[in-house]
């Protein structure tokens, strides 16, 4: 169940494709075509642009943890209002625990420094977390390219 989520290299429309078998991807917006090879279990390079520098990051939906916290606090206020101290603690502790478990369970996404493609379903061993110096180098590269386009 390996897949990649990426912006189209030409028009930046968000897209996703499976990497379990070789397939031809075509952009729904600009008809740009991309040949995607099936990748070995350990990702050697970016499936979209072939870049060798990748980093890992927790594939954790942003905002989800916050929503959970708000819901838990609201619920605990309700139960507290009803003098149900036990349930108040139960909900608060339960949510904190659930949050931690969820964080441990969600896998890492392997992200390309150059094209920002997110590869999912790959082991993250051997990949380093985001490094600012490398990220900055690619940011500069992007800026230069954008200037060149004008
Ligand atoms: Zn496109
Ligand atoms: Zn890439």
The tens digit of pLDDT for each residue in 17-68 reads 999 888 899 999 999 999 998 777 888 899 999 999 999 988 766 566 677 7
Question: Distance, CA 70 to ligand 2 centroid (Å)?
Answer: 36
**The overall pTM is greater than 0.85:** no
Q: Identify which has the larger pLDDT, 75 or 144.
A: 144
Identify the pLDDT of residue 89. 79
Q: Which domain holds residue 93?
A: 64-104
Please give the torsion angle defined by the CA atoms of residues 9, 15, 18 and 21, in that order, rounded to the nearest 10 degrees: -40
Tokens at residue 42, please?
């350990």
Residue 29 sits in the same domain as residue 90? no
Same domain, 25 and 89: no
Same domain, residue pair 111 and 46: yes
pLDDT digits (tens, 9 = 90+) for 115-133: 999 998 888 888 999 999 9
Query: From ligand 1's centre to the CA of 112, what distance in Å?
Result: 18
**Tokens at 122, concatenated:** 């790959």
Same domain, 10 and 50: yes
At residue 4, the pLDDT reads 92
- Ligand 1 centroid to Cα of residue 12, in Å, is 6
Residue 76: φ, ψ to 5°: -70, -30
Mean pLDDT of 70-78: 79
| Nearest CA-CA partner of 15 in 24, 37, 129, 148 | 24
């Amino acid at each position: 169940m390996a897949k990649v989520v990426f912006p189209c290299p030409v028009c930046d429309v968000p897209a996703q494709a499976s990497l379990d078998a070789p397939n031809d991807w075509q952009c729904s917006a600009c008809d740009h075509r991309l040949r995607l090879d099936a990748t070995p279990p350990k990702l050697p390079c970016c499936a979209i642009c072939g870049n060798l520098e990748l980093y890992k990051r927790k594939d954790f939906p942003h905002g989800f943890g916050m929503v959970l916290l708000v819901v838990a606090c609201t619920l605990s206020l309700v139960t507290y209002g009803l003098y149900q101290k036990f349930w108040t603690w139960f909900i608060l502790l339960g949510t904190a625990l659930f949050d931690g478990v969820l964080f441990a369970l969600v896998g890492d996404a392997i992200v390309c420094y150059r094209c920002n493609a997110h590869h999912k379903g790959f082991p993250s061993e051997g990949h380093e977390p985001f490094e600012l110096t490398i990220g900055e180098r690619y940011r500069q590269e992007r800026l230069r390219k954008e200037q060149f386009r004008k």
